[in-house]
């Protein structure tokens, strides 16, 4: 039977906005993790079939197919191609899916799947801001079909998160308790060295810059993002810079290069939901993944669900019936940051290492994405 194996996974530390990685060109961030995983695994770079990288707002230093640019900036063979994927926040998770699908189809043996984002240099929604000079106020306005279906209502992650908090009746206090826990878990993970195997220091930046000491009292003092709303900046993911990558291999490549797989791809899929709610799709994506595999949520040992906003995770827990003690056990994007295009393979690196640390078998990863979609990946530790 054809398998797609995860051989290794690495990431940079995640830099905070205007922090230690803010001045690094995105191609150099990507090249850094590419070189690290090639060196760690000992593969022949010329044997790589493709480099698939996620990136959002592909303008400026992130334009021109950053996957290809990062590979060449790393100094590797020109004959190896690269392609850049944009599935919004799940871009590098989708890169893993495309890479694994190529291996499972028999058309590739060795794929580097990853992502990169420097949000300090190129702020979120920069591509849309650039588009305004061409007469586009939003990606949707002016589309006859969109307006006929959804009207001219606001479409944003902030509104979606508020709608989720309201629909699932999640209080501001619940949101802030989850956010506080995210910081506490992240600080504990750093103190215990749980990220050491996955992080490749970049210069003087050796650890994640986002986690901080906070309190419910401090969070309660913040203004809500909208009048009468429940969300504050404290329960949202952080603006971040970073890169990450995963080496995927077929059984043939494993044998050829003498590799030792750490996990296999057990399942991969993506599903969609209401684009106005935008961030609720991890719920149907998880249900679909569990149905296709015949697993129950109780069979899953660890979950990484991206903390775009706290209500995304809490609504998912309510609907899926997951044990919160298994979810984001080392903190999430509220504490550790969310470098858009790099987050998918960053989470996969953490999921892989934590499965090994705890002896778990199955890990589930899911990410909400702009447009109301979500990826779901289940990996099995070997």
The residue extents of the domains of the chain are: 4-124+239-257
What is the 3-state secondary structure of 33-101? Answer: HHHHHHHHHCCCHHHCCEEEEECCCCCHHHCCCHHHHHHHHCCCCCCCCEEEECECECHHHHHHHHHHH
Instruction: Assess whether 89 carries a catalytic annotation.
Output: yes
Active-site residue, from 32, 89, 183, 266: 89
Active-site residue, from 32, 97, 266, 368: 368
According to CATH, the topology of domain 4-124+239-257 is Peroxisomal Thiolase; Chain A, domain 1 (3.40.47)
Neighbours of 152 (CB within 10 A): 10
Per-position pLDDT tens, the chain of length 382: 689 999 999 999 999 999 999 999 999 999 999 999 999 999 999 999 999 999 999 999 999 999 999 999 999 999 999 999 999 999 999 999 999 999 999 999 999 999 999 999 999 999 999 999 999 989 998 999 999 999 999 999 999 999 999 999 999 999 999 999 999 999 999 999 999 999 999 999 999 999 999 999 999 999 999 999 999 999 999 999 999 999 999 999 999 999 999 999 999 999 999 999 999 999 999 999 999 999 999 999 999 999 999 999 999 999 999 999 999 999 999 999 999 999 999 999 999 999 999 999 999 999 999 999 999 999 999 9
What is the spatial distance between Cα 210 and Cα 109, in angstroms, rounded to a whole number?
A: 36
Decide: 21 and 59 in contact? Cβ < 8 Å: no
Instruction: Assess whether 55 carries a catalytic annotation.
Output: no
Decide: 336 and 350 in contact? Cβ < 8 Å: no
């Amino acid at each position: 039977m054809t398998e797609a194996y995860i051989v290794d996974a690495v990431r940079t530390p995640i830099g905070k906005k205007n922090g230690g990685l803010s001045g690094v060109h995105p191609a150099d961030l990507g090249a850094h993790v590419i070189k690290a995983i090639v060196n760690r695994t000992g593969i022949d770079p010329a044997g790589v079939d493709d480099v698939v990288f996620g990136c959002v707002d592909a303008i400026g230093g992130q334009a021109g197919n950053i996957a290809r640019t990062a590979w060449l900036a790393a100094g590797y063979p020109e004959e190896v191609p690269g392609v850049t994927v944009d599935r919004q926040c799940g871009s590098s998770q989708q890169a893993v899916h495309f890479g694994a699908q190529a291996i499972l189809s028999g058309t590739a043996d060795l794929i580097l799947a990853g992502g990169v984002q420097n949000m300090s240099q190129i702020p979120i929604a920069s591509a849309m801001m650039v588009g305004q000079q061409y007469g586009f106020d939003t990606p949707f306005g002016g589309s006859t079909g969109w307006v006929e279906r959804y009207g001219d209502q606001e479409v944003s992650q902030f509104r979606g998160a508020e709608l989720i908090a309201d629909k699932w009746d999640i209080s501001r206090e619940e949101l802030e308790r989850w956010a506080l826990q995210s910081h506490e878990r992240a600080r504990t993970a750093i103190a215990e060295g749980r990220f050491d195997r996955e992080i490749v220091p970049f210069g003087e930046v050796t650890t994640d810059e986002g986690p901080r000491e906070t309190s419910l009292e401090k969070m309660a003092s913040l203004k809500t993002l909208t009048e009468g709303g429940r969300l504050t900046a404290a329960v949202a993911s952080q603006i971040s810079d970073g890169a990450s990558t995963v080496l995927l291999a077929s059984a043939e490549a494993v044998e050829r290069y003498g590799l030792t797989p750490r996990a296999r791809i057990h399942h991969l899929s993506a599903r969609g939901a209401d684009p106005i709610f935008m961030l609720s799709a991890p719920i149907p994506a998880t249900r679909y993944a569990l149905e296709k595999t015949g697993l129950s949520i109780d069979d899953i040992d660890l979950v990484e669900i991206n903390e775009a906003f706290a209500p995304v995770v809490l609504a998912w827990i309510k609907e899926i019936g997951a044990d919160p003690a298994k979810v984001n056990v080392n903190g999430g994007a509220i504490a550790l940051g969310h470098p858009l295009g790099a987050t998918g393979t960053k989470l996969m690196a953490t999921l892989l290492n934590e499965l090994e640390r705890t002896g778990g078998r199955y890990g589930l990863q899911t990410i909400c994405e702009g447009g109301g979609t979500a990826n779901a990946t289940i990996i099995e530790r070997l």
